[in-house]
Amino acid sequence: QVQLVESGGGLAQAGGSLRLSCAASGGTFGNYAMAWFRQAPGKKREFVTSINWSGGDASYAESVKGRFTISRDNAKNTVYLQMNSLKPEDTAVYFCAARWTYSRSPDYDYWGQGTQVTVSS
């Protein structure tokens, strides 16, 4: 039902910034909690941040607190990830994910294809 497309990845220097976008289609965006995950080479996919249906509540992995900010614009069907003070360990493929807000499952139902973020030292 929901399709997600990430964009905005690329190369940044340590200490720099990038902004990722995730455009959603095929559903009522306001009915979904959204999240960002990332996966570095040789590692399992890990949680980065999430935001509830209205944008009024967000959670962050400890490793990105104070540096990354998730936001959403329901009128534009888009969720954003502002990444500041980037570190080489932030290098990964970043995935956008969506979960129906009425679901009783903690699993995310829809996933984008990912966008590469590379941070040089």
What is the structure's pLDDT at 97?
A: 98
What is the structure's pLDDT at 1?
A: 81
What is the structure's pLDDT at 106?
A: 87
Rg (CA), the chain: 14
**Tens digits of residue pLDDT in 66-87:** 999 999 999 999 999 999 999 9
Percent of the chain with pLDDT over 90: 93
Average pLDDT on 12-37 reads 96
Per-residue 3-state assignment (H helix, E strand, C coil) for 21-90:
EEEEECCCHHHEEEEEEEECCCCCCEEEEEECCCCCCEEECHHHCCCEEEEEECCCCEEEEEECCCCHHH
